[in-house]
């Protein structure tokens, strides 16, 4: 299932991507640190063993990918709802991984694996046409114009999303930052592989009923901000 197209052009393009995010927050308690280290032994993946047979068997495909999991509320609820499906999380923020690991341990989840690092480091290793959904929920908006190159939504990355998703696969982008939503919408509408699924105003103001509220979504609502949920469908290959 590994994508073998690890060529120089991909690596050169990868170096041009400037996606960034914080890696550390408050020092973890001994309990959280112990749980994280224990769960990493069974549920984390490395560059060396990504998608080997002991990571995800074929029965778990197609997979779902979440880039940045916050505290893990969303992806854990999805994994509990669909135990037959595989979920891959990519998160470099150690405190977020600790929270995710606690939830994985509490619910004894076997169908979530996570890569503790930067998504741009494994883009070239992810299998093409292996995901039916990608979730980018409340990413750092990097509001200053000079920092826009650090956003996860970039033309080069959308090209990769197109290759990872199966036909009619779905990419969800959610944010409480209106400007970032406009930025993302423009990039996806200008891309030949994706179609915005919204037909009326309610389509981008409401999320699917089965979704769990994330920590960032709850914070936005407490500030009186209604998050925006953008659904894009992959309609054709590049």
Average pLDDT in the 86-97 region?
A: 95
pLDDT at res. 143 = 94
Taking only the tens place, the pLDDT of each residue in 169-183 is: 999 999 999 999 999
Average pLDDT in the 172-200 region?
A: 97
Taking CB atoms within 8 Å and a gap of at least 24, the contacts of 71-75 are 71/96, 71/99, 71/100, 71/103, 71/214, 71/215, 72/96, 72/99, 72/100, 72/103, 72/104, 73/103, 73/212, 73/213, 73/214, 73/215, 74/135, 74/137, 74/211, 74/212, 74/214, 75/100, 75/112, 75/135
Q: Is 140 considered catalytic here?
A: yes
Taking only the tens place, the pLDDT of each residue in 48-87 is: 888 776 678 888 999 999 999 999 999 999 999 999 999 9
Phi and psi at 48, nearest 5°, equal -75, -35
Domain with 197, as residue range(s), is 8-234
Residue 129 lies in a domain: yes
Q: What is the CATH number of the domain that holds 117?
A: 3.40.50.150
pLDDT band at 24 (very low <50, low <70, confident <90, very high): low
Residue 3 lies in a domain: no
Residue 1 lies in a domain: no
pLDDT band at 1 (very low <50, low <70, confident <90, very high): very low
Taking only the tens place, the pLDDT of each residue in 111-161 is: 999 999 999 889 989 999 999 999 999 999 999 999 998 899 999 999 999
Check 34, 132, 140, 203 and give the catalytic one: 140
Residue 212 lies in a domain: yes
pLDDT band at 16 (very low <50, low <70, confident <90, very high): very low
* pTM of the complete model beyond 0.85: yes
3-state secondary structure of 40: helix
Residue with tokens 């769990």: 212
Residue 2 lies in a domain: no
pLDDT band at 5 (very low <50, low <70, confident <90, very high): very low
**Overall domain count for the chain:** 1
3-state secondary structure of 101: helix
Residue 152 lies in a domain: yes
Q: Higher model confidence: residue 16 or residue 65? A: 65
Residue 122 lies in a domain: yes
């Amino acid at each position: 299932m590994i994508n073998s197209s690890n060529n120089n052009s991909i690596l050169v393009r990868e170096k041009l991507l400037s996606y960034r995010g914080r890696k550390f927050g408050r020092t973890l308690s001994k309990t959280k640190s112990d749980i994280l280290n224990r769960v990493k032994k069974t549920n984390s993946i490395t560059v060396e063993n990504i998608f080997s047979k002991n990571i995800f068997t074929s029965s778990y495909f197609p997979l779902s990918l979440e880039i940045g999991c916050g505290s893990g509320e969303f992806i854990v609820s999805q994994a509990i709802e669909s135990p037959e499906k595989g979920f891959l999380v990519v998160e470099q923020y150690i405190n977020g991984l600790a929270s995710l690991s606690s939830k994985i341990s509490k619910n004894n989840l076997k169908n979530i694996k996570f890569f503790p690092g930067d998504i741009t480091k494994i883009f070239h290793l992810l299998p093409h046409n292996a995901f039916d959904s990608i979730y980018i929920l409340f990413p750092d908006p990097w509001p200053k114009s000079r920092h826009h190159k650090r956003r996860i939504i970039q033309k080069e990355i959308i090209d990769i999303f197109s290759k990872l998703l199966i036909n009619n696969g779905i990419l969800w982008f959610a944010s409480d930052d209106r400007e970032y939503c406009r930025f993302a919408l423009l990039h996806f509408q200008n891309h030949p592989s994706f179609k915005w699924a919204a037909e009326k105003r309610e389509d981008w103001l409401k999320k699917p009923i089965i979704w769990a509220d994330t920590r960032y979504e709850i914070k936005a609502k407490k500030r009186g901000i209604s998050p925006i949920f953008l659904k894009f469908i992959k309609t054709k290959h590049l």
